[in-house]
Amino acid sequence: MNTIRNPWRLSSLAAAILFAGLLAACGDDGGNGGGGGGVGASTPAATYPRFAYVANADSDTVSQFAIDSETGQLRPNGYVSTGDRPYSVTVDPSGRTAYVANRESDTVSQYRIGTTGTLTPLSPPTVTTGTAPSSITVDPSSRWAYVANRESHTISQFNIDATGILTPLSPPTVSTGNTPYSITVDPSSRMAYVANQGSNTVSQYRIDATGTLTPLSLPTVSTGDRPQSVTIDPSGHTAYVVNQNSDTISQFSIGATGALTPLSPPTVSTGDRPYSITIDPSGRMAYVANQGSNTVSQYHIDVTGALTPLSPPTVSTEVAPSSVIVDPSGRSAYVANRESHTISQFNIDATGALTPPAAVTQTVATRNGPTSIAMTKGTSPVVYKPQWAYVTNFESTTVSQYRINETGALAPLNPPTVITGNQSHSFPVTVDPSGRWAYVPNADSQTVSQYRIDATGILTPLSPPTVNTPFPFSVAIDPSGRWAYVANQLNNIVSQYRIGATGALTPMSPPTVSAGGGPSFVIVDPTGRWAYAVNNFSSTVSQYNIGATGTLTPLSPSTVGTDPQPLTITIDPSGRTAYVANWLSNTVLQYRIGATGALTPLTPATVSTPNAISVTVDPTGRTVYVANGPSNTVSQYGIGTTGTLTPLSPPTVNTGTAASSVTVDPSGRTVYVANGPSNTVSQYGIGTTGTLTPLNPPTASTGPNPISVTTTGTIE
């Protein structure tokens, strides 16, 4: 074992090959809508929530999530770029299109919502608004969109055509009070209301047959100090306005003409600096995000429309909650916390009170500065369907390719293998988020093979079929699918590439960044903000910020220490916790990912597991699995509320031969383990407690000495 414990005294190429042999013999880690309480947030919805979108004002992006309708969990689904300072996102009620108000570029970005929930820019990708658009909403008929322009004191009004494109109405704008911030439309598409921060009023309009807004005979009604958000209950009988500086909600009845009349009492108290209000789909409950007190106020709505605080009257969030929304089924609520860059997730109990979710982590990381949330709905829940699996065979320079059948078992494709780099020892396959491209690092030929994945799952070489990079051991792709990073072990660098329209990699400028000693594995967090490289020789993890152009910049500190000989790293789907497998010390290190991206050890800092080679987290974020090399086992752990790991019962399952890699399929139903010496992949079903049970058959055949397994899937 001395040779295995100290392989780095050999020549560089021999060391690389021996490290590969170690991994192989003993790794891959394997609509509701926004606008500060716009129409989507107060419109009755269908049974199932499907996708969520979060406008990140401080990073010029929209984070995309799929929603688990049973647990309410938000599952990361990539992100897209927007204009400058996106403050509000909304989706049209049909769920076809999403719109984002970009406050500092005076535009609205417009996107098509794909069947998998991803956003694709329309043509043109943006339309011009007034100055400083702060809120956007779509009317319930999906015919018109309205934008509150904070600094030009207007509402931009648009027609929505059959493709979702916005076209200015005539006239293109109407005047409001001073500093309009939020706009909403009633459920009948007859009336619109605008909260005017600077004049402490709500403007009230009639919507005519062409979508144009016409002020009522009494054009405004008074509110409290600095009205921030306005919304309407699903019946269309009551309107609510949060007043940021007076810490109140103004509540109004809506008359037959659409005019607002104060209820009795005319106001109710909130927490400090209320920022956003939403009503649940049943019209029974109201929730207010209080930015100054880091809470959500929760209320019951009585038959008159008046609000009564629940007991307790508030629940805690993370820092600076800026938006709150209830999912279309009325079972879960979500809060965007601007300064902690997270979404707080809550279950809604029978009384309407918000409670922490039992089955999933309470917070999910976003990109910087989340300010608004929108959701789509549907007649069926989101389902992740596994599609293909790829196994790199270390001793034959091939990748085995499989279809994942209904039971989770692997079935070989035709042809069953493809060739990788010329006479190369290949490491894990990495697939881009769209499922169109695959990349294989070939260590001794110093190349990365690049492939197109066709409709049948077959890998077809791109042109060119490879790109040069020194001693690559691992490839990671950011969640937007635009950038790729390669850990080059013997040169102590990470190469960085742009992914072109054809899937081919092009070096960035600069083409590389420094890492620690012997980077063996690189990963990008689910938000796409941070990247981490595991440095096998120096027993550290390098940590980086990902810039707007995809380039990596070391964090401060640039590295964190690990136990001896770390090999792989994984991050849980909430983006809050990272785990590192340490071969020599027989441990898994567990870290909290901080607001700056820096890793901080949890307490305890490690859990014991023999010969840890590869570590992975299931898509629900409830379980962790570790492939234990020559121990011929997989350790299985539950993830606690703080992110710490606790062994399941039993704590391990036997793989028969050396387990070099472990991965979980996208549905979270099946685990696959590459067993190098036996030329097989073990396949397991995941039980309700997270424990593994062999499938029938328990293994699938591979090429010689499989080193890793990668799976893909799609969303239905």
**Burial readout 597-631 (b: 16 or more C-beta within 10 A, e: otherwise):** bbbeebeeebbebebbbbbbbbbbbbbbbbbbbbb
Residue 318 and residue 240 share a domain: yes
Q: What is the pLDDT of residues 516-549, one digit of tens each?
A: 999 999 999 999 999 999 999 999 999 999 999 9
Name the maximum alpha-carbon separation found in the chain: 88
Residue 177 and residue 138 share a domain: yes
Q: What is the pLDDT of residues 399-415, one digit of tens each?
A: 999 999 999 999 999 99
pLDDT of residue 424: 56
324 bridge partner residues: 335
pLDDT higher than 90, residue 286: yes
| Arithmetic mean of pLDDT, 387-394 | 94
pLDDT higher than 70, residue 444: yes
Q: What is the pLDDT of residues 468-495, one digit of tens each?
A: 999 999 999 999 999 999 999 999 999 9
The residue ranges of DSSP E strands in 583-657, in sequence order, are 587-593, 599-608, 614-617, 623-627, 633-639, 645-654
Q: What is the pLDDT of residues 157-173, one digit of tens each?
A: 999 999 999 999 999 99
Q: What is the pLDDT of residues 572-613, one digit of tens each?
A: 999 999 999 998 999 999 999 999 999 999 999 999 999 999
SS3 208: coil
pLDDT of residue 39: 38
pLDDT of residue 396: 82
What CA dihedral angle connects 147, 150, 152 and 155, to 10 degrees?
20
| Arithmetic mean of pLDDT, 447-452 | 96
pLDDT higher than 70, residue 349: yes
Boundary of a domain, candidates 343, 378, 413: 378
Taking a C-beta distance cutoff of 8 angstroms, is the pair 682, 665 a contact? Answer: no
pLDDT of residue 426: 60
- The single residue listed with the structure tokens 């699995």 is 625
pLDDT higher than 70, residue 29: no
pLDDT band at 657 (very low <50, low <70, confident <90, very high): confident
How far, in Å, CA of 573 to CA of 644, rounded? 15
Which two tokens mark 63? 């984070």
pLDDT band at 360 (very low <50, low <70, confident <90, very high): confident
pLDDT of residue 497: 98
Residue 19 and residue 156 share a domain: no
Taking a C-beta distance cutoff of 8 angstroms, is the pair 148, 183 a contact? Answer: yes
How far, in Å, CA of 91 to CA of 112, rounded? 10
pLDDT band at 124 (very low <50, low <70, confident <90, very high): very high
| Number of helical H runs and strand E runs in the chain | 2, 58
**1 within some domain:** no
372 bridge partner residues: 55
Query: How many Cα atoms within 13 Å fall on the side-chain side of residue 639?
Result: 30
How far, in Å, CA of 564 to CA of 534, rounded? 11
pLDDT of residue 425: 58
Edge-to-edge order in the sheet of strand 410-419: 410-419, 398-404, 384-393, 706-715
Residue 569 burial (CB < 10 Å; 0-12/13-18/19+)? buried
Question: How high is the mean pLDDT of the chain?
Answer: 92
pLDDT of residue 13: 34
How far, in Å, CA of 90 to CA of 57, rounded? 14
pLDDT of residue 112: 98
| Arithmetic mean of pLDDT, 130-136 | 98
**2 within some domain:** no
Residue 413 and residue 317 share a domain: no
Which two tokens mark 333? 């609520």
- The single residue listed with the structure tokens 């570029």 is 105
289 bridge partner residues: 276, 296
Q: What CATH number is associated with residue 311?
A: 2.130.10.10
Q: What is the pLDDT of residues 173-213, one digit of tens each?
A: 999 999 999 999 999 999 999 999 999 999 999 999 999 99
What CA–CA distances, in Å, run from 652 to 22, 604, 610, 636? Answer: 21, 20, 10, 6
How far, in Å, CA of 97 to CA of 488, rounded? 41
Backbone angles phi, psi at 410, to 5 degrees: -90, 135
Range of the domain at 572: 7-30+383-715
pLDDT of residue 47: 78
pLDDT of residue 11: 31
Residue 50 and residue 25 share a domain: no
How far, in Å, CA of 48 to CA of 537, rounded? 49
Q: What is the pLDDT of residues 207-238, one digit of tens each?
A: 999 999 999 999 999 999 999 999 999 999 99
How far, in Å, CA of 54 to CA of 62, rounded? 5
pLDDT of residue 41: 45
pLDDT higher than 60, residue 421: yes
102 bridge partner residues: 86, 107
Boundary of a domain, candidates 357, 378, 399: 378
| Arithmetic mean of pLDDT, 501-511 | 98
Work out the angle at residue 386's Cα, subtended by the Cα atoms of residues 385 and 389, and round it to the nearest 5 degrees. 165
Taking a C-beta distance cutoff of 8 angstroms, is the pair 538, 552 a contact? Answer: no
Residue 399 and residue 269 share a domain: no
Query: Which of 94, 179, 104, 105 lies closest to 145, judged by CA?
Result: 94
Query: Which of 218, 250, 137, 227 lies closest to 180, judged by CA?
Result: 227
Residue 640 and residue 687 share a domain: yes
SS3 17: helix
How many domains does the chain fold into? 2
How far, in Å, CA of 415 to CA of 403, rounded? 12
Share of the chain above pLDDT 90, in %: 88
pLDDT of residue 19: 40
Which two tokens mark 491? 């040169």
CA dihedral over 162, 165, 170, 174, signed as positive or negative:
positive
What CA dihedral angle connects 94, 96, 102 and 108, to 10 degrees?
-100
Query: Which of 551, 534, 459 lies closest to 543, judged by CA?
Result: 534
pLDDT higher than 90, residue 26: no
**703 within some domain:** yes
pLDDT of residue 520: 94
Question: Which residues have CB under 8 Å from 1's CB, separation 6+?
Answer: none
Residue 436 and residue 334 share a domain: no
Residue 532 burial (CB < 10 Å; 0-12/13-18/19+)? buried
Residue 438 and residue 389 share a domain: yes
pLDDT of residue 25: 40
pLDDT of residue 15: 36
| Arithmetic mean of pLDDT, 451-457 | 97
Residue 512 and residue 596 share a domain: yes
Taking a C-beta distance cutoff of 8 angstroms, is the pair 162, 143 a contact? Answer: no
pLDDT higher than 60, residue 44: no
Query: How many Cα atoms within 13 Å fall on the side-chain side of residue 569?
Result: 36
**259 within some domain:** yes
How far, in Å, CA of 40 to CA of 325, rounded? 9
Residue 652 and residue 699 share a domain: yes
Query: Which of 390, 537, 525 lies closest to 471, judged by CA?
Result: 537
- The single residue listed with the structure tokens 């399941």 is 648
Which two tokens mark 504? 């081919």
pLDDT higher than 50, residue 12: no
Amino acid 636 reads: Q
- The single residue listed with the structure tokens 């409709």 is 455
pLDDT of residue 38: 41
pLDDT higher than 80, residue 2: no
Residue 369 and residue 451 share a domain: no
Boundary of a domain, candidates 359, 378, 397: 378
